[in-house]
């Protein structure tokens, strides 16, 4: 089937999500053009000095290991350490794009400003700046893959006009220049906050970690093993069952287990740090850091309450009434939200008894009901994507199957009823935890099941039903590895379902990943962390 048969598609963004979408749609018969405002593929892993773009820092290390991330049909090279650096991740994405000859279909330096329907409501017009030149291009379909970490969420501090020091969001942070010898307040306990703190500690006079509430902080390693290797497909399905059918039991048991894990790994936590108690993990994403709690214990950083207001050129008051003097900079690692400015036609609504931000109306958090067959937004879900990276191809295959009508869509009425019910669910979350509320949250079990079904990954062959038992009897080794071994993305290309392409190398790649992790647990966890942090081969830690 020729590309022209299925029409033209614009993909916005050339990060991991965008290049996956470009490849999948092109393979399925669409003529695809990808628009990326950076000068290279990689998304936030493509480091840039431009403070208007979200970028991992040169010092950043992935919080998931190479064993569980990567594309479904392009394994991580052996040369990489357990946890990739920013440059290594960008190199991997670049090599993926070159391997599948994707770069010829990417327009770099392109900032998409607005998507509108043409006069006869049959196609999309994309208005954009391409290397400073205003252009408009027409497409049959559009997929936004520019990520949900695009628009910084900046607190509206009272009295900020009084402050004469540096006040910035983490998105703007690139260097410790001008922070030498200063007292710095970093707002938040996220992975980004940890990254920034580790960068500024060598030069700052004093570093405060400001947070309004507690939060789970998990290490990237657990007893000499990368933490993500503890998660298997079988365990994920058990969790999904409990989330769906036993939510109260799931919430209690999970939070109890996580509190025990925190204490068993970190030891006794000083109550003055206010790390615990934490909001339920069912309502708020945890942080990941190997250093925050050790730094608190060593006294190298100081935990303080949230900022109430600025009181002078270099002073601020905290929520507990404490006043900090001599503050030279405040850096807010307070998260992001999806930038939907290019899609002003999206409808919004508010459920009853809800005090949060307006909620965008997207079926399954992906498709606008009125344009579900021609537009998808993969930039509005901060939850529900396995480890995010490995789920890219599942999303891409699902969107492609919708666009080419392999999967039929429900009526707009059915979609809108789903959205109303979903917004009511979001409202209950807001009432339980307004501080950590995430408007793009999804019911993980529903979101993942939907995308797997539409993509046709065949993962139901690993279930408890007759398909699962049949696969076990046919191939017990692979059944065991795929259910209980390393949760690799290659499993999503293993089964023949007729709804997407399989990958002949999936079996060998799954076996190889499970062989590779036999080096764990390493004897010295500190050395293991250093191996992941500095690119030393893990075997050297033994």
Yes or no: say if 336 and 171 are a contact pair by the CB < 8 Å rule. Answer: yes
List pLDDT tens digits, range 194-209.
999 999 999 999 999 9
Q: How far apart are CA 480 and CA 523, in angstroms?
A: 27
Instruction: Please check the confidence at residue 542 and state whether its pLDDT lies above 50.
Output: no
CA nearest 190: which of 173, 170, 208?
170
- Per-residue pLDDT band for 526 (boundaries 50, 70, 90) equals low
Residue 504 tokens read as: 């002949």
* 164 CB neighbour count, 10 Å cutoff: 12
- Give strand pairing partners of 136: 127
- Give strand pairing partners of 307: 318
Arithmetic mean of pLDDT, 494-499? 97
- Exposure pattern of 450-481 as b/e (b: 16+ CB <10 Å)? bbbebbbbbbbbbeeeeebeebbeeeeebbeb
Alpha-carbon dihedral sign for residues 22, 23, 26, 28: negative
Rg (CA), the chain: 23
* 323 CB neighbour count, 10 Å cutoff: 11
Pick 375 or 534 by higher pLDDT: 375
Residue 345 tokens read as: 């036609």
* 58 CB neighbour count, 10 Å cutoff: 12
Q: How far apart are CA 391 and CA 69, in angstroms?
A: 9
CA distances, 99 to each of 92, 102, 104, 162, 503 (Å): 10, 8, 12, 53, 15
Arithmetic mean of pLDDT, 14-35? 97
Token match 């390493």: residue? 522
Instruction: Please report the pLDDT score of residue 506 as a whole number.
Output: 98
CA nearest 395: which of 498, 500, 238, 488?
500
Instruction: Please report the pLDDT score of residue 387 as a whole number.
Output: 72
Arithmetic mean of pLDDT, 534-539? 35
List pLDDT tens digits, range 457-482.
999 999 889 999 999 999 999 999 99
Alpha-carbon dihedral sign for residues 9, 14, 17, 22: positive
Instruction: Please report the pLDDT score of residue 146 as a whole number.
Output: 93
Instruction: Please report the pLDDT score of residue 463 as a whole number.
Output: 87
Yes or no: say if 36 and 106 are a contact pair by the CB < 8 Å rule. Answer: yes
Yes or no: say if 392 and 25 are a contact pair by the CB < 8 Å rule. Answer: no
Pick 436 or 45 by higher pLDDT: 45
Instruction: Please check the confidence at residue 306 and state whether its pLDDT lies above 80.
Output: yes
User: What does the CA dihedral 441, 443, 444, 448 come to, rounded to 10 degrees?
Assistant: -110
- Mean pLDDT value across the chain: 94
* Predicted structure pTM score: 0.95
Give the DSSP letter of residue 218: E
Arithmetic mean of pLDDT, 344-361? 96
Percent share of the chain, pLDDT over 70: 95
Instruction: Please check the confidence at residue 338 and state whether its pLDDT lies above 90.
Output: no
Pick 297 or 1 by higher pLDDT: 297
Residue 152 tokens read as: 């910084």
Token match 């479904």: residue? 72
| DSSP H stretches of helix in 15-147 | 16-27, 86-99
* 147 CB neighbour count, 10 Å cutoff: 21
- The strands making up 307-312's β-sheet, listed across from edge to edge, are 307-312, 315-318, 323-324
List pLDDT tens digits, range 87-134.
999 999 999 999 999 999 999 999 999 999 999 999 999 999 999 999
CA nearest 381: which of 291, 302, 447?
447
Instruction: Please report the pLDDT score of residue 539 as a whole number.
Output: 28
Instruction: Please report the pLDDT score of residue 3 as a whole number.
Output: 42
Yes or no: say if 37 and 66 are a contact pair by the CB < 8 Å rule. Answer: no
List pLDDT tens digits, range 210-256.
999 999 999 999 999 999 999 999 999 999 999 999 999 999 999 99
User: What SS3 state is found at 353?
Assistant: coil
CA distances, 253 to each of 174, 464, 503 (Å): 40, 23, 38
Instruction: Please report the pLDDT score of residue 538 as a whole number.
Output: 31
| Inter-residue long-range contacts of 95-101, CB under 8 Å, 24+ positions, other chains counted | 96/19, 96/71, 97/14, 97/19, 97/41, 99/74, 100/23, 100/74
Instruction: Please report the pLDDT score of residue 2 as a whole number.
Output: 41
List pLDDT tens digits, range 147-191.
888 999 999 999 999 999 999 999 999 999 999 999 999 999 999
Q: How far apart are CA 150 and CA 338, in angstroms?
A: 6
Q: Where are the beta strands (DSSP E) in 220-347?
A: 221-222, 225-226, 287-288, 302-304, 307-312, 315-318, 323-324, 327-332, 336-337
Residue 25 tokens read as: 């749609």
Arithmetic mean of pLDDT, 419-426? 98
Instruction: Please check the confidence at residue 525 and state whether its pLDDT lies above 70.
Output: no
Residue 202 tokens read as: 């060598």
| DSSP H stretches of helix in 456-537 | 466-474, 476-484, 506-516, 525-534
């Amino acid at each position: 089937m020729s590309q022209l048969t299925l029409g033209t598609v614009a993909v916005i963004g050339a990060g991991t999500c965008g290049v996956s979408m470009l490849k999948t749609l092109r393979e399925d018969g669409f003529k695809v053009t990808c628009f990326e405002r950076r000068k290279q593929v990689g998304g936030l892993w493509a480091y840039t000095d431009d403070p208007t773009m979200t970028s991992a820092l040169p010092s950043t290390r992935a919080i998931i290991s190479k064993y569980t991330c990567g594309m479904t049909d392009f394994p991580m090279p052996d040369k990489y350490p357990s946890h990739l650096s920013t440059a290594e991740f960008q190199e991997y994405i670049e090599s993926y794009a070159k391997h599948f000859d994707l770069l010829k279909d990417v327009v770099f330096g392109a900032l998409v400003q607005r998507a509108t329907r043409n006069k006869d409501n049959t196609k999309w017009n994309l208005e954009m700046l391409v290397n400073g030149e205003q252009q408009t291009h027409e497409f049959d379909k559009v997929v936004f893959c520019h990520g949900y970490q695009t628009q910084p969420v900046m607190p509206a501090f009272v009295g900020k006009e009084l402050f004469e020091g540096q006040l910035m969001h983490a998105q703007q942070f690139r260097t410790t220049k001008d922070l030498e010898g200063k007292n710095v307040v970093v707002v938040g306990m996220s992975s980004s906050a940890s990254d920034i703190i580790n960068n500024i500690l060598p030069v700052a006079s004093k570093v405060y970690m400001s947070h309004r509430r507690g939060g789970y902080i998990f290490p990237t390693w657990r007893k000499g093993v990368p933490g993500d290797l503890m998660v298997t497909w079988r365990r994920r399905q058990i969790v999904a069952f409990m989330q769906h059918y036993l939510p109260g039991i799931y919430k209690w048991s999970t939070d109890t287990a996580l509190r025990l894990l925190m204490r068993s790994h970190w030891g006794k936590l000083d109550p003055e740090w206010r790390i615990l108690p934490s909001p339920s993990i069912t309502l708020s994403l945890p942080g990941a850091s190997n250093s925050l709690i050790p730094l608190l214990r060593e006294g190298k950083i100081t935990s303080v309450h949230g900022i109430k207001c600025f009181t002078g050129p270099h002073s601020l008051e905290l929520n507990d009434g404490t006043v900090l003097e001599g503050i030279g900079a405040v850096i807010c690692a307070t998260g992001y939200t999806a930038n939907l400015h290019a899609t002003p036609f999206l409808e919004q609504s508010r459920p009853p008894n809800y005090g949060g931000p307006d909620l965008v109306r997207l079926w399954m958090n992906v498709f606008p009901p009125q344009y579900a067959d021609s537009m998808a937004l993969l930039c509005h879900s901060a939850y529900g994507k396995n480890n995010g990276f490995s789920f890219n191809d599942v999303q891409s295959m699902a969107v492609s199957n919708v666009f080419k009508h392999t999967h039929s869509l429900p009526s707009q009425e059915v979609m809108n009823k789903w959205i109303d019910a979903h917004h009511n669910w979001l409202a209950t979350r807001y009432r339980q935890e307004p501080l950590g509320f995430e408007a793009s949250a999804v019911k993980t079990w529903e979101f993942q099941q939907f995308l797997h079904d539409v993509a046709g990954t065949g993962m139901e062959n690993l279930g408890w039903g007759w398909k699962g038992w049949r696969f076990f009897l046919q191939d017990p080794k692979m059944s065991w590895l795929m259910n209980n071994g390393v949760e690799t993305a290659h499993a999503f290309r293993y089964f023949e379902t007729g709804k997407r392409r399989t990958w002949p190398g999936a079996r060998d790649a799954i076996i190889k990943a499970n062989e590779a992790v036999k080096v764990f647990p390493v004897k010295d966890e500190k050395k293991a962390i250093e191996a992941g942090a500095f690119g030393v081969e893990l075997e050297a830690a033994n």
